[in-house]
Chain A
Amino acid sequence: MTVHNIRHGDASDGAFAEAVGGRLSRVDGRAKITGAAKYAVEQQLEGLAYAVLVESTIASGKVRAIDTTAAQAAPGVLQVLTPDTIISLKTAADWFGTPPPDKPYCPLARDITFSGQHVAAVVAETFEQAVAAAALVKVSYDETPSIVDLSDAKAGDGIPIDAMTKEWGDAQGAFASAPVRICAAYNTPREYQAPMEPHGLIARWDGDRLTVWEPSQWLDGMARTYAEWFGVPFENVRLVSPYIGGGFGSKALALSHGAVAACAAKMLGRPVRLVMTRPQTFTGYGGRAATRQTVTIGADAQGKIQSIVHRGVNETSIDGMWVEPLGSVTSIMYATPNFSSRQNVVRVNSVVPGAMRAPGENPSAFGIESAIDELAYEVGIDPLEIRLRNYAEQDPHAKKAWSTRQLREAFAAGAERFGWSRRSPEPRSMRDGNQLIGWGVAAGTYPVRRAYGEAIVRILADGSVEVESSSIDMGQGTYTILAQTAAETVGVRADDVVVKLGDSRFPRAGVTGGSRLAGVMTGAVYKAATSALDQLIGLAISDPRSPFHALQANTLVAANGRMSSPRGDGPDLSIAELLKSVGRDHIEATGDTMPANSTPEDRYKNYTTIAMALPHTEGDYSRHSWCAHFIEVRVDEDFGTVRVSRVVSALDSGRLYNPKLAESQWKGGIIMGIGQALLEEGIVDRRHGRIVNNNLADYLVPTNADIPDIEVISVGIPDLHSSVLGGKGVGELAIVGVAPAIANAVFHATGKRIRDLPITLEKLI
């Protein structure tokens, strides 16, 4: 549980910062910067023991034996867990809530399907003792040949995923007769979320009640998984996740290391802490799957698209299924009368890949936004012009109107600000000494994922307001925008709102993923706050003890924590004074956005699975956020080094609840996109099937020195088809399209088309 008293962050918080749409600084910023914010695994608990994982050193085969003799005898060791000694769990349902097979689940593996799989764990009195003893656990294996990655000859063509097939018209036929044709293959490597805070948890049992302090993007979903594993009621599991040091999709699910820690705590009867090492974060859960796409476009001589044929492949694990939807952007970005997209998934010896900022849309955009650029050069027109010539006036796949699509406005605003009209069209035609200069453009999009949320709003005796929700803040600003929502709705200052998040005892919330939380939770808080205010006004008007009773008014207004009549002809008193006068110590209202006839089962399903999420094409509209990136690179012609020197991005996320925080998220996405374009790649030793650059010195993410000033421009308008207050998704949008914009700029600079990320120097020299 976390309590925030809102304080203004800096001088840029203007007079109207406190309302929805204001630029209030992050209310949790000070606590984080000063170190006062206590993260999940920093809880000090009596009797805490420490668990350390032992991982497989082969990629494929079976554990023959585990010799724990030396580890058992090591100083401070409390227990050594192996597949033979760990308690048996039940298999939990997946995140869709699909009923699981009735078979036991063991979080420690006997059958090895990737290097780095958890095979044992050591629990000791201290962390250092556990680390030392873990190194003494001797595991022997019967090794079998592994499938390293998509390029492995043994990998094959994979499994067709029919649900990914999107087709209309006669794409092959139209391509064959098109006067201009391009066809190319685009590859993206394994990429990793690399959050600053590694994954870890503290688990404590009190009888048959489990408390888990764990960074989480989904308290209720993870609580359900723990409950199902251990066969206890959902209500018996409490997840606590006050702050999250970055998630990017990787902290939404309960994972096997969590099961190990909770088992150890149960077996020992002591709270147990388990934190992954940085190398373990590269195999303890999945990053973005490696992908391959071929994009084939047929167009007329003016560049008007006649046909798109798209084929995609992503890797998944031997026994898990991850589909990275590679046709998601391909199928909606441009108008085309003929279209075909199909996708296969290939099993390789890797941990099952997972969600990473804009799964699907991100690699999809790399394919189509590179290909359209290639088409522009083939036709001989400006890369921005070709996008406008093929502008999709409605969703070409769903055949529905866009709820809002400010992409044309994004192209216009970005191009204007960037100075695109001054671009010299020929590759290698702009330079500064040894530096070849290139300008590239690409578009991005992300669907509006919608779900339901609930919240409690309390108006307290001192006139302050309290908001509770089991949703979370991983840096994106939930604490702040929910305070703004409650402040504006009730009519108090944001300083007087306390937002409590990150505890599954609070009113429930679905996953913080798919850029949906702000839209869901502002709606829920708005409803709860409206209801609380209605109660307050009702009391003020109807209670005989109220100073407003004699006024005979129909309603009252609340502002700055004070109540008055709309005409200003009655009393003017603070909310605290009003509550005192009517003898109430608080008013409380629960609000949710669920349909009115929802059953308790519906609610449970909504908050603990993703099965109830609303399709973005539900009803009459197709709902998406949109963006356009304009990027300048400087490529050293001798060294092949690429530096991004200018970024102007115009983005349509609908109404922004807090522009300052939205801009910050957009810039974060762009920075992550720069890393993806130029630096990030999990490198596998092909003999061992093991990621060798599993640390932050060798897996490169951008430093400040790699990032120029980034200018972001909001071109959104309120979209009430997308959310209660008019916002669309923010968090994932901005990474989509950055990598192709950079690849396109690199082509403009050098004349070399790089279709394999990242664009490292050896690909250009």
Chain B
Amino acid sequence: MRDFSYLRANSLDAAREAAALPGAMLLAGGTTLIDLAKCGVAEPETLVDITHLKGLDSIEMSERGATIGALARMGHVADHAGIRSRFPAVSEALWQAASAQIRNMATIGGNLMQRTRCPYFRDPANFPACNKRQPGSGCSAIGGVTRGHAVLGTSDACIAMYPGDLAVALVAFDAILHLGERQIPVDDFFLLPGTTPDREHAIAPGEMITAIEIPGSASARRSTYLKIRDRQSYEFAAASAAVGIEFEPDHRTIRDLRVALGGVATKPWRARAVEDALKGKVLEPDAVSAASLLAVEGAVDQGANHYKIELAPRVVARAILKLGETA
């Protein structure tokens, strides 16, 4: 039997110190970690339980925006009145993620550390080759069952999709992650697989997400998260879009636009080309549809996931037009 140490951290410093130990992993809601341990992917030497740390589960609203503690529960953040009114896309991304039971357990910090659902990644016994698990071992997914795999940001080493929803909304609105003393834009926190798909996050041993800061903006206030999937609930996105718009005083001309994609890329995918194409333009369906095609520029499919290239621009366009209707 695989033994591991369990440490209950009673201070942030103690948690970070313990997290720096070789083979240490942080335990918060446990919804990803326990799952990955059961399928033989996570094999921690030490579990550092941070759920007893004080003051990390708050949601603070200010003029500048929102600051969400890393231990705030997904369900709590989704239902928070301030988040719902000033960052609807964040709330919507959260309540469309996972199931009610998981949202009640899972923390915001843990959500950002969620790992891919690639079935090859999750089955080491049957598929030893996985560059994410075992650098240099190869990729079992390429040439296999790829309906749910990424079409953007892939490499020869890895095509695993980033599965989360929240981070897509965070990327759209330039959220900042607090890693103790250091702060990092969320877009930079998530790494492209490149030749090192085992490195998923720009986080060093001993660092820990303590909070997420989301700058308030007019586009965040007029925002939405549209998630498309075969099953109405409890399924990862076939394609999703976090979109926010700020209009000029004429209510027609786009002053600011934020677009990010989920369910199609190896990381939460900011679609700046779509934003740039529409900023300063009048919101108009044909223009929106044409610009939305830029969301999947450079996409590479594996055959079974080709539909994502068709689907994603339609999701983006629908989300933008839906926000336009409320202007």
Contacts and interface: CB of A to CB of B under 8 A. Distances in A.
Interface of A: 57, 74-76, 115, 126, 128-129, 131-133, 135, 279, 434, 636, 638-643, 678-679, 683-688, 690, 692-693, 697-698, 700, 702-706, 758, 760-762, 765
Contacts of A639: 228, 311, 314-315, 318
Given A115-B126, A687-B144, 10 more contacts: A76-B1, A279-B123, A638-B318, A686-B144, A688-B144, A692-B119, A692-B120, A700-B231, A700-B235, A762-B311
Contact of B117 (A684, A687, A697, A758): A697
Given A638-B318, A700-B235, A761 B126 contact: no
A683 B147 contact: yes
24 contacts: A126-B1, A132-B1, A279-B123, A636-B228, A638-B314, A639-B315, A641-B228, A679-B230, A683-B147, A685-B145, A687-B143, A687-B144, A688-B126, A688-B144, A692-B119, A692-B144, A692-B145, A703-B99, A703-B234, A705-B233, A706-B232, A760-B230, A761-B238, A765-B307
B230 to A, nearest CB: 5
Contacts of A698: 117, 119
Contact of A705 (B120, B232, B311, B314): B232
Contacts of B318: 434, 638-639
A642 B117 CA distance: 24
B54 interface: no
Most buried by B among A128, A685, A690: A685
Nearest to B308: A762
Interface in B296-327: 306-307, 310-311, 314-315, 317-318
B205 interface: no
A129 B307 contact: no
B23 interface: no
B310 A57 contact: no
A704 B231 contact: no
Interface residues of B, number: 32
A362 B235 CA distance: 26
Interface in B119-169: 119-120, 123, 125-127, 143-145, 147
A758 B231 CA distance: 12
Contacts of A683: 145, 147
Contacts of B307: 761-762, 765
Given A75-B1, A641-B228, A761-B230, A685 B125 contact: no
Interface of B is mostly: loop
Contacts of B234: 697, 703
Interface SS of chain A: helix, strand, loop or mixed? loop
Interface in B1-36: 1-2
A765 B235 contact: no
A679 B145 CA distance: 16
B180 interface: no
A641 B229 contact: yes
Given A57-B126, A765-B311, A703 B143 contact: no
A421 to B, nearest CB: 30
B194 interface: no
B55 interface: no
Contacts of A133: 1
Contacts of B125: 57, 135
* CB-based closest 4 A-B pairs: A762-B307, A705-B232, A705-B233, A132-B1
B1 A704 contact: no
Nearest to A688: B126
Nearest to A707: B232
B126 A690 contact: yes
A135 B311 contact: no
Nearest to B99: A703
Contact of A132 (B2, B117, B306): B2
A702 B147 contact: no
Nearest to A643: B232
A703 B119 CA distance: 22
A131 B229 CA distance: 34
A475 to B, nearest CB: 22
B42 to A, nearest CB: 14
A705 B234 CA distance: 9
B157 to A, nearest CB: 18
